[in-house]
Amino acid sequence: MKILLWVIIVLAGIIVLFLVIGVFTKKDYSVAREVIINKPKSMVFDYLKLLKNQNKFSVWATMDPDMKTTFTGTDGTEGFISAWDSENKNVGKGEQEILKIVEGERIDYEIRFIRPFKSISWAFITTTAVNENQTRVHWEFNAKMKYPTNLMLVFMNMEKMIGNDLQKGLENLSEILKK
C-alpha cells in the first residue's frame, strides 16, 4: 500500500512539474522556407494567387488522393475558401481562407483545422524578384498553442516537421512552374 501511495505521489509530482513547465514554455512558433524559381515574378505570383493551385504542390494536399475538397468564393480573391475533409489522420478536416492579397507581393491565409484537433494557424507567401527571370518565394507558417497543449512544443521539433513539408511543397512548386 505504501508503494502504491509513493507511485501515485511521484506520478502526480511529474504531472504538476510538466504543467508548471508549460506555463513558462513558448506558446507560438513560426516556420519558414524559401526557394528561387526561374520564372518572372508576375508569372509566379499569378500562379500562387489561385489557392486551388496549392492543392497541386502542397505536401499536405497530396497526402490523400481521396480527400474531398470544396471551394467557396472566387479563387485568387480575398475571402476565397478552400476546404478539405479526409479520413487520413495526417490530413483531417479544415479550411484555408485568403485573408489579404497585396498584388504581386504577398498572400495571407488563415488555416482553420477542425479534425483531428481544433486550432487556427496563419500562413503567408511572398514573391520577390531576384532579377527579371528569377523569383524568390517565401512561405511561412505561424501558430499559437494554448496552455497546456503548448507543452508539446518542448518535445516536438516543429521547425523540422513543418519545415520539411514547406520545403518539399516549394520544390514541387518549382517543378510545376518549370513546365
Could you give the C-alpha distances from 5 to 8, 11, 12, 97, in angstroms and in order? 5, 10, 10, 52
pLDDT digits (tens, 9 = 90+) for 25-78: 677 778 999 999 999 999 999 999 999 999 999 998 888 888 999 999 999 999
pLDDT digits (tens, 9 = 90+) for 105-145: 999 999 999 998 888 999 999 999 999 999 999 999 998 77
Which of 10-14, 95-99, 150-154, 164-168 has the least mean pLDDT?
Answer: 150-154
Cell of 2: 505504501
Q: What is the pLDDT of residue 7?
A: 80
8 Å CB contact between 95 and 120: no
Q: What is the pTM of this model?
A: 0.82
Q: What is the pLDDT of residue 165?
A: 92
8 Å CB contact between 43 and 53: no
Q: By C-alpha distance, which of 158, 136, 125, 160 is closest to 48?
A: 125
User: HSE-up of 179 (CA within 13 Å, CB side)?
Assistant: 5
What are the structural domains, with CATH classification, of the chain?
28-178 (3.30.530.20)
